[in-house]
Amino acid sequence: MDSFYGFERSPLPLDLILEIREAMKRGDFDKRIVKRTPYSVDVDAAELECGHTRPVAVEYEKGKDEPEHLYCRECRALWISSL
């Protein structure tokens, strides 16, 4: 099955997928947000301490704070390509 509910199967080996998940649980790719710039009503462009930028949804739910850290997909991709 190469597609499952619209999700494409990763070309990565299963053990590497699990290793990446463990790294994400440890927060290895979590980066501090240094600047947020409104991009649309619902989304900001968040500049991260690593220099990468990613979209982040604006929180409208009462009592819910905007995150101070986000995981960086680009840092994760660089880590994967360095293996």
Q: In the structure encoding, which two tokens stand for residue 21, read together?
A: 């998940």
Among 30, 47, 52, 69, binds Zn ion (CB under 5 A): 52
Question: Which residue do the tokens 């979209």 mark?
Answer: 55
Q: Which is nearer to Zn ion, 39 or 53 (CB)?
A: 53
User: Strand, coil or helix: what is 72?
Assistant: coil
Q: Does 69 bind Zn ion (CB under 5 A)?
A: no
C-alpha to C-alpha distance for 8 and 5, rounded to whole angstroms: 9
Can you tell me which of 53, 70, 74, 79 binds Zn ion, judged by CB under 5 A?
Answer: 74
Residues 6 or more apart whose Cβ sits within 8 Å of residue 39:
45, 55
Considering the complex, what minimum distance in angstroms separates the CB of residue 50 from Zn ion?
Answer: 3
Does residue 23 bind Zn ion (CB under 5 A)? Answer: no
Catalog residues that contact Zn ion under the rule CB under 5 A: 50, 52, 72, 74-75
